[in-house]
Amino acid sequence: MDLNNLNYSPSSSSSTPHPSTAAAAATPAADPMQSWWESVSKARARILSLSSLLHSDPTSSFSLSSLADSDRPALSLLSSFDAYTLLSSALSSSSSGSGSDPLCQWLYETYLSSDPHLRLIVLSFLPLLLGLYLSRIHSSDSVSTPSLAGFEAVLLAIYSSEVKSRAGKPVLIQIPDLAQPSLYHTPRNKQNSHGFDNSRPSVGVLSPPLEPQIAVKSTKRPVIVGVALDCYFKQISQMPSWSKVELCMYASAWAGQDCACKDKLDGDKEVEIQNGHGNEVNGGYFLEGRSLSNGHERNGHEIDDVVEEMEKLEIERNGTEVSESKGVRIPLPWEILQPLLRIMGHCLLGPLNSQDVKDAASRAVRRLYARGTHDLAPQAILATRSLIQLDKRAREVAKAAAAAAVNSSSNANTPSKAKKPEIFLVSK
**Residue ranges of domains in the chain:** 35-175+203-236, 240-264+327-402
Question: Cβ distance 235 to 123 under 8 Å?
Answer: yes
Beta strand spans in 141-238 (E): 171-175, 202-207
* Poorest-pLDDT segment among 18-27, 237-246, 280-289: 280-289
Q: Does the pLDDT of residue 389 top 60, yes or no? A: yes
Check whether 149 has a pLDDT greater than 80: yes
Q: Are 341 and 384 in contact (CB under 8 A)?
A: yes
**What 3-state class would DSSP assign to 185?**
coil
**pLDDT surpasses 80 at 93:** yes
Neighbours of 277 (CB within 10 A): 14
Q: Which pLDDT band holds residue 385 (cuts at 50, 70, 90)?
A: very high
Q: How many C-beta atoms lie closer than 10 Å to residue 351's C-beta?
A: 5
Look up residue 201 and give its DSSP letter: P
Residues 6+ apart with CB under 8 A from 188: 199
Contact 47, 67 (CB under 8 A): yes
**Distance between CA atoms of residues 27 and 39, nearest Å:** 17
Q: Report pTM.
A: 0.73
Q: Residue range 226-251: average pLDDT?
A: 96
Query: pLDDT-based confidence at 200, cuts 50/70/90?
Result: low
DSSP-assigned letter for residue 191: B
Greatest alpha-carbon span in the chain: 113
Query: Does the pLDDT at position 195 exceed 60?
Result: no
Please tell me whether residue 266 adopts helix, strand or coil conformation.
helix
Give the range with max mean pLDDT: 96-100, 269-273, 288-292, 306-310: 96-100
The C-alpha atoms of residue 42 and residue 315 are separated, in whole angstroms, by: 53
CA distances from 150 to 57, 87, 159, 216, 330 (A): 25, 15, 14, 11, 20
User: How high is the pLDDT of residue 224?
Assistant: 96
Residue 39: the pLDDT is 85
- Cβ neighbors of 227 (< 8 A, separation 6 or more) are 158, 159, 162, 207, 210
State mean pLDDT over 379-400: 93
Lowest-pLDDT choice from 49-53, 231-235, 242-246, 409-413: 409-413
pLDDT at 8 over 50: yes
State the DSSP H helix or E strand holding residue 271, giving kind and residue range, or none if neither: strand 271-274
Nearest-CA neighbor of 304 among 315, 293, 312?
312
Cα separation, 196 vs 268, in Å, equals: 51
Per-residue pLDDT at 128 exceeds 70: yes
Torsion (CA) 337, 343, 347, 352 in degrees, nearest 10: 170
Span 155-175, average pLDDT: 91
Q: Give the pLDDT score at 201.
A: 61
Alpha carbon of 396 to those of 2, 153, 383, 400, 406: distances in Å? 52, 44, 20, 6, 15
d(CA 230, CA 234): 6
pLDDT for residue 284: 35
- What is residue 156's predicted lDDT score, i.e. its pLDDT? 96
Structure-model confidence comparison of residues 3 and 218, the more confident one: 218
The band of 305, judged by pLDDT with boundaries at 50, 70 and 90, is very low
Query: What percent of the chain is predicted at pLDDT more than 90?
Result: 46
Q: Model confidence at 7, in pLDDT bands (50, 70, 90)?
A: low
Task: Tell whether the model's pLDDT for residue 143 goes beyond 70.
Answer: no
Q: Among 45-59, 87-101, 282-296, which stretch is predicted with the lowest mean pLDDT?
A: 282-296
Distance of CA 126 to the CA centre of its chain: 10
Across the chain, what does the average pLDDT equal?
Answer: 77
Find how far residue 269's CA is from the centre of its chain: 28
Distance, CA of 248 to CA of 262 (rounded, Å)? 15
| Amino acid at the residue 91 | L
For residue 239, what are the CA distances in angstroms to 64, 78, 127, 155, 347?
19, 8, 11, 18, 11
What CA–CA distance (Å, rounded) separates 124 from 130?
11
pLDDT at 291: 36
The CA radius of gyration of the chain, in Å to the nearest whole number, is: 29
Round to the nearest angstrom and report the end-to-end CA distance of the chain: 108
- pLDDT for residue 288: 35
Q: Is 104 exposed, middle or buried (0-12, 13-18, 19+ CB in 10 A)?
A: buried
